[in-house]
Chain A
Amino acid sequence: MRKQRLIVIGAGMASGRVLDHLIEADPDAFDITLFNAEPRGNYNRIMLSPVLAGDKSYEEIVTHDDAWYATHNVACRFGEAIARVDTAAKAVTTQTGEVLAYDKLLLATGSTPFIIPLPGHDLDGVIAYRDLEDTRKMMAMGPGNRVVVIGGGLLGLEAAAGMAARGVDVTVVHIMGHLMERQLDETAGFLLRTSLEEKGITILCGANSQQVLGADGHVRALRLDDGTELPCDLLVMAVGIRPNAALAQTAGLAVGKGIHVDDQMITSDNDVLAVGECVEHDGALFGLVAPLYDQAKVAAQTLLGQQAAFTQKSLSTKLKVTGCDLFSAGDFADGTGREDIVFRDPARGIYKRLVIEGDRLIGAVMYGDTADGNWFFGLIRDATPIEQMRETLIFGPAYQGGTQSDPLSAVAALPRDAEICGCNGICKGTITDAIAGGATDLVAVRTATKASASCGTCTGLVEQLLQVTLGDAFTIPASQTLCGCTTLSHEDVRRLIKSRALQSQPAVWQELGWSTPNGCHICRPAVNYYLLADWPLAYRDDPQSRFVNERKHANIQKDGKFSVVPRMWGGITTPAQLRAIADAAERFDVPTVKVTGGQRIDLLGVKGPDLPLIWADLNRAGLVSGHAYSKGLRTVKTCVGTDHCRFGTQDSTGLGIKLEKILWGAWTPHKLKLAVSGCPRNCAEATCKDIGVVCVDSGYQIGIGGAAGMDVKETELLAQVPSEEEAIEIVVAVTQAYREGARYLDRIYKWLGKVGLDWVNETVVDDLENRKALVARFELSQSIYRKDPWAEHTVDAKKYAPLADLTMEAAE
């Protein structure tokens, strides 16, 4: 039997996904021909903004390349538009008059940008922002050029920020009273405006365009209705889109604002499907990719004869402009019966507003700190009852479960079918039944129901359920709280340090109601770490809140002596360094010289007062602290890689050294060990490190969450990237994400268990703006901490000696 012929019109984001799903499920189901009016195949259109800003190249945003189409036998007709569809004859006609027959047709024609029909709109240099051509025209602008962007929505602002980053003098003309009025309320719009103005962008709100002025057929200025003239070399209109439904309409398919489709993505003709921005489903149009991906999946299933149905979900928005951290979801218009919860921190430019109706969250707008965006979005999408956490809702998920909000009554109030364990889909009822059936502690509940057996983030909730159900027969383990000085958990403290801008230890003790004057040996190191991680400039590390090893920059041993481990970058040393180590060992009577598991040498048994002296000797030979004692970067193990090994694929030693030089000195929640192997034989054991890189022919595989201590864990693959530069960027970004998010004394694998690999992937790998921002914050912190603590301490050597020696005088 001959294969069915599938013709796809439009190689955009939606059709790309359909092809992926189709080919994954059944590569032989169809003979596929793909038409695209643009002279290229599928690419990630939303990434045009990073391309414009210069953060990405076009090549990097291609989702399907020639090789992919060739491998999967997709016949490509790029640069060819379809002019007509004849549903009766089941054939399409190309621009050039060629006729092709189909068995199934998929319309994925996207949308067309709306051009305001102002006088002069057809002048040269008046463009929209939709495709690579538009992007290139904007990229041709530079310092000395002036550009006006009409439209202060998502697209217009990304265009403006991208060009401003290129040194272009940009003015945004927006007709409404504040920016992004569909996604933001006035306050958030104001904060956004302020940060864009700081980037040098001029913003005119409430401004009505009247006419485009030209000279020699080219745009020269935009005139507003108040007579203002804004001179420009390029005028970008980013004022909205219209579904591209003309082709369907002339073919006689049912079309409203877009092409009508049913839940199976089938149009009014049974053999014609449509997906993407060109469709209208149940009265709704689409302008963001999330629902298009859902549609694509359904369309592929429908084509394969499987049952599937598309349902609309609520959407959230982010702006891809560095330094403008905003998030919006749901409906936040004022209205009767609606109630607002607002949190503002003017000093840090943070604004959060939640809109509540009845006992549901229906809208959220956040600016400045958007970390909890997805959690709020989940509450909106799932219409979760929030009555019980209303008081503390605005502080986000980590705060829920804090004692102030009386977590027990919140849990007690949850309905039986409330989902407790998201990983395993376990509801409250299942858990309480198990408890009633005799599972009276956490382990038993886990065994009986699987709840909290995967990522563990719901452990607190399960414990609260145990307490609610069993009463006094169960007490929540004290480890829930940070230590005996407080009733708050680590998560609460981290969150409050940020949200209340607490920048010193006394501020934490005071504002968070510590029951002791200055903490204890458990909370002080944690709080010290949180403060320095969150406020690298305002707060300075406090040695007195450090465990002795980190205060003295050496490992204390059972007899009170210390071990000294100098750094050997990437495990590489020199004869001169070895000689210096040997000399130091002799001079200070070091009893044991040992090769460590971290590819360097340990001098064990050094007397406390000798520490600054031995460091001074080692410093002179160029040796610095190896931080073998720190909750910070330990070593980057490497193998010999391409330098010597017959299998090496990349310069693993070189990359290891680079990483060590970037990361050293940074404090982290727990110790951080890296390794780089030159090929999958993995001689550097990269797959059991906190972060491990395995070099392969095509690039670098970055894995995270490995360990080989009390728990043995293999890393999980976070990303594979082609260049060393990007590998380094991702390693640094994930380190910073870990620094900012993890609980003190959680290794990466524990943190990963809580946040999930998907989240790290989305925020660190996929979200380029965020990746860059993480790197920038890491660098800011490293401007303080990337230095040798030994060198600093050799100068006040006398602090390592006794304050006084009264034994000598006794002998007088």
Chain B
Amino acid sequence: MSWIDIGHIDDIPLLGARVVKTPVGCVALFRTGKAEVFAASNTCPHKRGPLSEGIVHGQKVTCPLHNWVFDLNTGLAQGEDGQIAVYPVRLDGGRILLNAAAIGKRSAA
């Protein structure tokens, strides 16, 4: 599997998120801990709210528009009928590596 280096973990505020534009659409990277990052779709299945603008807590994010809460491990919405795509991501030292195939890229640039 090939991984793409997209930046340093400190580029994302603790309990915050940043967006990466990819061939599958906007992917949000959520930093849930000092050295813990999740990647998921940035688009809320309810009314397309930008999830990277939500409040990050535990391993979850709350959509800023109408407060749906998503578990970043599974992408499932709590108590609502909805799910977002989640993508494999890993940390190498401070670098954030996103799985290339999962976001529609054939090779690492």
Binding site for B on A (CB under 8 A): 516-521, 524-525, 543-548, 551-552, 556, 558-560, 608, 799, 802-807, 809-810, 812
Considering the complex, which residues of chain B in the window 13-44 have a beta carbon less than 8 Å from any beta carbon of chain A?
13-16, 18-23, 26, 29
Q: Residue-by-residue, is B55-97 near A (CB-CB < 8 Å gives 1, otherwise 0)?
A: 1111010101101010000000000000000000000000000
Chain B residue at minimal CB-CB distance from A516: B58
CB distance from A249 to the nearest CB of B (A): 75
In the assembled complex, the CB of B90 is this many whole angstroms from the nearest CB of chain A, namely 16
B18, B56, B58, B60: the one contacting A803 at CB < 8 Å is B18
Known contacts A544-B15, A547-B64, A810-B104; A516/B57 CB under 8 A? yes
B20 touches A805 (CB 8 A): yes
Distance A759 CA – B7 CA, assembled complex (angstroms) = 55
- In the complex, which residues of chain A have a beta carbon less than 8 angstroms from the beta carbon of B67? 521
Q: How far is the CB of B91 from chain A (nearest CB, A)?
A: 14
The complex places the Cα of A545 from the Cα of B55 at a distance, in Å, of 7
How far apart are the CA atoms of A403 and B36 in the complex, in Å? 34
Question: How far apart sit A548 and B49, CA to CA, in the bound complex (Å)?
Answer: 11
Question: Chain B residues with Cβ under 8 A from A519's Cβ?
Answer: 57
**What is the number of contacts between chain A and chain B, taking CB atoms within 8 Å?**
91
Question: With A520-B57, A548-B54 in contact, is A803–B20 under 8 Å at CB?
Answer: yes
Q: Give CA–CA (A203, B49) in the complex, Å.
A: 65
Q: In whole angstroms, what is the CA distance A806 to B23 when docked?
A: 7
Chain A positions within 8 Å of B54 at CB level: 521, 548
CB < 8 Å neighbour of B105 from A525, A556, A608, A806: A806
Q: Given contacts A518-B58, A547-B64, A806-B105, is CB(A552)–CB(B53) below 8 Å?
A: yes
Contact across chains for A518 and B105 when beta carbons are under 8 A apart: no
The A contact surface, by secondary structure, is mixed
* Cβ–Cβ < 8 Å partners of A545 in chain B: 15, 55
Which A residues are in CB contact (< 8 Å) with B18? Answer: 799, 802-803
Picked from A517, A521, A544, A558, the residue with its CB within 8 Å of the CB of B14 is A544
8 A-B pairs with the lowest CB-CB distances in the bound complex, closest first = A521-B62, A803-B18, A521-B55, A548-B53, A544-B15, A560-B50, A804-B6, A548-B64
Given contacts A518-B15, A802-B19, A807-B22, 13 further A-B contacts (CB under 8 A): A520-B55, A544-B16, A544-B55, A547-B55, A548-B64, A552-B53, A560-B49, A560-B50, A802-B20, A803-B19, A804-B20, A806-B6, A810-B105
In the assembled complex, which residues on chain B have CB atoms less than 8 Å from the CB atom of A517?
Answer: 57-58
> CA separation between A367 and B92, bound complex, in Å?
54
A608–B7 Cα gap in the complex (Å)? 20
Q: Is B12 engaged at the interface, CB distance under 8 Å to the other chain? A: yes
Q: A747 to B64, alpha carbons, bound, how many Å? A: 21
Known: A543-B13, A802-B18, A804-B20. A521 touches B103 (CB 8 A): no
CB distance from A809 to the nearest CB of B (A): 5
Cβ-defined partner of B55 (8 Å) among A524, A559, A802, A807: A524
- Give the distance to chain B from A810, nearest Cβ to Cβ, in Å: 5
Q: Closest residue to A557 on the B side, CB-wise?
A: B65
B1 close to chain A: CB less than 8 A: no
User: Which one, A548, A802, A804, A810, contacts B23 given CB within 8 A?
Assistant: A810
Please state if A518 and B57 are interface contacts (CB–CB under 8 Å): yes
How would residues 95 to 109 of chain B score, 1 for a CB under 8 Å from any chain A CB and 0 otherwise? 000000001110001
A-B contact pairs, 21 of them (CB 8 A): A517-B57, A518-B15, A518-B57, A520-B60, A521-B62, A521-B67, A544-B15, A544-B55, A547-B55, A547-B64, A560-B50, A560-B53, A802-B18, A802-B26, A803-B7, A803-B11, A804-B20, A806-B21, A806-B105, A809-B105, A810-B23
Q: Do residues A521 and B47 form an inter-chain contact, with CB atoms below 8 A?
A: no
Contacts of B103 in A (CB 8 A): 806
**Are A805 and B21 also in contact (CB < 8 A) when A544-B14, A544-B16 are?**
yes
In the bound complex, what is the Cα–Cα distance between A805 and B20 (angstroms)?
Answer: 6
Distance in angstroms between the alpha carbons of A43 and B42 in the assembled complex: 68
Asked whether, in the complex, the Cβ of B48 is within 8 Å of the Cβ of A802, the reply is no
Contacts of A546 in B (CB 8 A): 55
Docked pose: A558 CA to B56 CA in angstroms: 20
Contacts of A552 in B (CB 8 A): 53
Which A residues touch B69, using CB under 8 A? 520-521
- The interface residues of chain A lying within 8 Å CB-to-CB of B58 are 516-518, 520
Query: Once the chains are docked, how many angstroms separate the CA of A61 from the CA of B41?
Result: 66
Q: Within the complex, which residue of B16, B26, B48, B53 is in contact with A556, where a contact is CB–CB below 8 Å?
A: B53
